[in-house]
Amino acid sequence: MVLFSEDHNQETRRRGRIEVICGSMFSGKTEELIRRLKRAKIAKQRVEIFKPAIDIRYSDADVVSHDSNSIASTPVDSSASILLFTSEIDVVGIDEAQFFDNGLLDVCNELANNGVRVIIAGLDMDFRGKPFGPMPQLCAIADEVSKVHAICVKCGQLASFSHRTVKNDKQVLLGETAEYEPLCRTCYQKALEADREP
């Protein structure tokens, strides 16, 4: 007969937690989200993935990384909709969290408090270098935050900033390499100066 210690029993109980994966465009946030969710599926956990309905760049329904890896998801119009699909779920994945409303904080806390592992991926800053949507608050309440980096297309250093290369002042502009480039802090500052020149 095998007797398990109290520590083992604690570890095998379902524990809710919030994990945030943040960084600039092209830093591998969605790639890391997909990797964690696929591992959860391999572990026979019940997984549900959500993305904002406005993000149809690669697919209307799937979450797709820039490297074309994908996983089936449910597009939703608001954070409150997530709760409608998460009964009997072990792991919830949320991509492009910066596009959700601020109610996402309460949704993620409720899920985690009910024993669900919540994995969130999103841009921590917009193209102006300002905190983006609910991401700063999500980082604050997270049990774990992973900041991933792209490579600066100008100098090859680690990039934390998403520089918009087209003239458009809207905060939300869905785009790709034609509209954005990842830059390090120094190159981002130079790019901003160049953008301001007539």
pLDDT one-digit tens code per residue, 97-130: 999 999 999 999 999 999 999 999 999 999 999 9
Query: Is 14-148 a domain of CATH 3.40.640.10?
Result: no
Q: Which of helix, strand or coil describes residue 80?
A: helix
Q: What Rg do the C-alpha atoms of the chain give, in angstroms? A: 18
Tokens representing 86 are: 């998460």
Three-state SS letters, 83-147: HHHCCCCCEEEECCHHHCCCCHHHHHHHHHHCCCEEEEEEECECCCCCECCCHHHHHHHCCEEEE
Average pLDDT over residues 50-54: 84
H-helix or E-strand spanning residue 81: none
Domain boundaries, the chain: 14-148
Token pair for 32: 């890391």
Split at pLDDT 50, 70, 90, the class of 10 is very low
Q: What is the pLDDT of residues 133-167, one digit of tens each?
A: 999 999 999 999 999 999 999 999 999 999 998 88
CB contact at 8 A, 55 and 100: no
- SS3 label, residue 176: coil
Average pLDDT over residues 183-195: 96
pLDDT of residue 172: 60
- Give me the catalytic one of 96, 176, 179, 197: 96
CA 88/CA 157 separation, integer angstroms: 44
Is the pLDDT confidence value at 93 over 70?
A: yes
Its pTM stands at 0.84
How far, in Å, CA of 164 to CA of 192, rounded? 10
If you average pLDDT over every residue of the chain, what do you get? 86
Is 96 an annotated catalytic residue? yes
